[in-house]
Amino acid sequence: MGRDPAHRRGHTRGMTNRGREPSPRPLVGILLFDDVEVLDFAGPYEVCSGTCDPSGHAYVDVVTVGPRSEVRCRGGLRVRPSHTFEDCPPLDALIVPGGPGADERTPVQDELLLPFLRERAGATATVASVCTGAFLLGRAGLLDGRRATTHSAALEALREEFPATAVVAAKVVDEGAILTAAGVSSGIDLGLHLFERWFGPAARERAATGLDGPWR
């Protein structure tokens, strides 16, 4: 029987910082909430958690964080975040996915998600969105005066809601501390872009090779 793709990637699956000694690796947090699009967060999670350096060590550690101990994703999948907002550790990067729970402004956003984003944005080196997660960044005041992108079907809505943002059609828009990615599977492109920015082209290629798809 052949070795599975995860093994070929030097993979250490499911790494989080809960119950572990502090790590010198960057800590990436992925936001979860009700009606989040699964691939929006699963794509960058796979890139970040599933790729190791040539010595077999993970490039980054990954945690998920949500407003409570369980969230119901779009389609009914239930996920237990590794941290709630109350016990989320300091992060080096925060990835914000989209989905129906991000598309329209809701009381949950105003009461929980947006305050968390505003608080963390001031203390996190990199904040990035996938798909309509850009709307959450915009509502948190993080896109004013910046270029940004989102799902192709939501570009005009993003322009209308955030006139101070230069909305463009692109796979990934990198504005330094703030990044935005296009729709759904573009979360994988975002993860690869971050790997190249943080660790160089060889790390990006290593991650892309493990995905064995059009990202190579």
Query: Can you tell me which residue has the tokens 């101990």?
Result: 69
Kindly give, in sequence order, each residue whose CB lies less than 8 Å from that of residue 160, ignoring residues fewer than 6 positions away: none
Tell me which of 52, 73, 88, 131 is the catalytic residue.
131
Separation in Å, CA 142 to CA 45, 48, 128: 22, 23, 10
The C-alpha atoms of residue 71 and residue 78 are separated, in whole angstroms, by 6
Helical residues (DSSP H) of the chain, grouped into ranges:
5-8, 38-49, 100-103, 107-108, 114-121, 133-139, 155-161, 186-199, 201-211
Cβ proximity of 183 and 151 under 8 Å? yes
| 131 has catalytic annotation | yes
Cβ proximity of 14 and 50 under 8 Å? no
Cβ proximity of 64 and 30 under 8 Å? yes
Task: Tally the C-alpha atoms within 13 A of residue 86's C-alpha that lie toward its C-beta.
Answer: 2
| Angle between helix 38-49 and helix 201-211 axes, rounded to 10 deg | 120
* Catalytic sites, residue numbers: 131
